Amino acid sequence: MNIVPETSSRVFNFSSGPAALPLPVLERARDELLELPGCGASIMEISHRSEAFSRILESAQAGIRQLLDLPENYEVLFLQGGARLQFAMIPMNLLAADSHAEFIVSGSWSEKARDEAAGLGTVRTCWTGLDGAFCQLPDPAELELDETASYAYLTSNETIQGVQFDEFPATGNLPLICDASSDLLSRPLDCQQFGLIYACAQKNVGPAGVTVVIIRKDLLERSRAELPGYLNYAEHARHGSRYNTPPTFAIYILDLVCQWIANEMGGLAGIDQLNREKAELLYDLLDEPSGFYQGHAKTSCRSRMNVTFRLPNPDLESQFIQSAAEQGLTSLAGHRSVGGIRASIYNAMPIEGVVALRDFMADFRDKQMEAT
Ligand SMILES: *Cc1c(COP(=O)(O)O)cnc(C)c1O
């Protein structure tokens, strides 16, 4: 499989999002950009109600369903507004006025989601990792969740801090809501654990502009008719994600990404295996005894998507980022709120890119340690 096109100055791009897309997907989109086969027009120029786009929408929904082995009682919606709009839509649709939402706050994204929900209803923080600078996660078995709540909420992978849940709390009748923006389709997942699971596409699933919302059908009954139309899940479900014009180009790319995972990467089991190997390459280096690199996350909750670490001081971190970029390893700066280094190694990052980063890191460390 191609990793780098023949005449190319494409870099190994470690951007956290929008992030690298699989090269075969970009090449196919390039080849079809002017004329979608059989259409005589670009995907961007045809009606969202045309037969050609209907096929793409259906294929994208089927792609998500097949990869995740979704049962019939879940609806797959393609919405706009990114993950951020879901921070508001979830409480607007699912949080009863006389009840509250339980939040597991494991990093910046769950914190923001909780704060948004707090403006729309009552929330309770049932666990927070704030004291440890969000380097750890709760043991799912030890969480004390109030089952009278409307739902419990967590973030499966905290993109900024680099902590990722492997197992989720069993919540019984309490619907569990999951922001999987940065790890949906990176590993097999039993979606039946969740009442609603969602992901903005621009990390692992496609380009910015579309958000995948997977919702258990019985929860659609909670959406009140008084909600503004666009903010009502039931309305989107009733219209098959065509309540208004959906982001057609983004859905087209998402469909190609699903096909790439299914046909070229061995499905979610195959991509998971590869993602584990990639992450291990970097974590093994962080664990080596010199201590030059300090990983942020506790070992037990390390993210396989976003590897976060520090160097001995911020000056060295700037040097690291700059000299990596000179070698074609780009976008390694940590989120502006936390600093440090973050290597985002989503599905589309080939293992060759991770090996190149690992080798660069070893080399950079050796040179610095010789100098001191
Ligand atoms: C990127 C990200 C978001 C924010 O996504 P937007 O589409 O920019 O709103 C929310 N949650 C997680 C886990 C993310 O990685």
The pLDDT assigned to 5 comes to 61
Q: Please write the tens of the pLDDT for every residue from 6-36.
A: 657 899 999 999 999 999 999 999 999 999 9
Q: Say yes or no: CB of residue 164 within 6 Å of ligand 1.
A: no
Backbone angles phi, psi at 194, to 5 degrees: -115, 145
Contact, 345 vs 182, CB < 8 A? no
Q: Which residues of the chain have pLDDT under 50?
A: none
Residue 109 falls in the annotated catalytic set: yes
Task: List 164's β-bridge partners, or say none.
Answer: 157
In ligand 1, the atom with minimum distance to the C-alpha of 180 is 13
The pLDDT assigned to 141 comes to 85
The pLDDT assigned to 233 comes to 98
Of 127, 183, 203, 272, the catalytic one is 203
Q: Nearest residue CA, atom 2 of ligand 1?
A: 181
Q: Say yes or no: CB of residue 344 within 6 Å of ligand 1.
A: no
The pLDDT assigned to 6 comes to 60
85 alpha carbon to ligand 1 midpoint, in Å?
Answer: 10
147 alpha carbon to ligand 1 midpoint, in Å?
Answer: 27
H or E segment and range at residue 200: strand 196-200
Q: Hey, what CATH class is 267-371 in? A: alpha beta
Closest CA to 238 of 57, 94, 96, 77: 77
Q: Which CATH number fits domain 27-262: 1.10.579.10, 3.40.640.10, 3.40.50.880, 3.40.50.300?
A: 3.40.640.10
339 alpha carbon to ligand 1 midpoint, in Å?
Answer: 18
Q: Which two tokens stand for residue 21?
A: 């897309």
Q: Say yes or no: CB of residue 81 within 6 Å of ligand 1.
A: no
Residue 278 falls in the annotated catalytic set: no
The pLDDT assigned to 337 comes to 86
Contact, 108 vs 133, CB < 8 A? no
Domain range list for the chain:
27-262, 267-371
Closest CA to 323 of 369, 290, 365: 365
364 alpha carbon to ligand 1 midpoint, in Å?
Answer: 31
